[in-house]
Amino acid sequence: MVIVYESKTGFTKKYADMLAAKTSLKIFRVKELSKVNKNEEIIFLGWMKVGKIQGLKKLRKYNVKAVCGSGAGRTAEPNTDVVIARNKVEGLPFFYLRGGCFPLKELKGKDKIMLSMFLKMLKSRKDKDEKIEEAIAIIEYGFDGVKEENLKPVLNWLNVTE
């Protein structure tokens, strides 16, 4: 088995690196996929953008055995079942890994525009609860939720004991 990952701002990469260190599995970015044999078993990690696990599409013809999605929220948004369906990973083990994000003002391009719109929408909501307030703060000020303990379910699935 090998690890393949897609990370834009580095949070998912931190998890992929941690997983490689704990398992001694080889690690590849999606860009390096040509180095991976089509029959090789893969555990995939990708960051999520509007519920879509980035980079996963490129692995359709590969032997993916488990998928991890990293997002900024406490749990997968809008929920795990929707994420599984939207990414067509039914039947595969799916693990949510809380990643993080940089403050909005440090982002660039399309991602910044998308998140600015999302932030505006969140701020305009009249029914703001604790979760929405947290999402607003995360987008505005940034957040790093990467923790080794979040990998525990993945390590259990891999039968790695620490």
Residues that bind ligand FMN (CB under 6 A): 7-13, 47-51, 70-73, 77, 99-101, 111, 114-115
Task: Assign residue 81 a region (left: φ > 0; alpha: ψ between -120 and 50; beta: otherwise).
Answer: alpha
- For tokens 């957040």, the residue is 143
Q: Which residue is nearest to ligand FMN, using beta carbons? A: 71
Per-residue tokens: 142: 């940034």
**Would you say 115 or 122 has its CB closer to ligand FMN?**
115
If you ran DSSP here, which 8-state letter would residue 23 be given? H
Alpha carbon dihedral 20, 25, 28, 29, in 10-degree steps, equals: -40
Per-residue tokens: 125: 């909501």
Residue-wise burial string across 81-93, b where 16 or more C-beta atoms lie within 10 A, e elsewhere:
eebbeebebeeee
**Would you say 9 or 80 has its CB closer to ligand FMN?**
9
The least CB distance from residue 37 to ligand FMN, in Å, is 25
The least CB distance from residue 110 to ligand FMN, in Å, is 7
Are 105 and 152 contacting, i.e. CB atoms less than 8 angstroms apart?
Answer: no
**Would you say 22 or 86 has its CB closer to ligand FMN?**
86
The least CB distance from residue 90 to ligand FMN, in Å, is 19
The least CB distance from residue 84 to ligand FMN, in Å, is 13
**Would you say 146 or 158 has its CB closer to ligand FMN?**
146
**Would you say 25 or 99 has its CB closer to ligand FMN?**
99
The least CB distance from residue 39 to ligand FMN, in Å, is 27
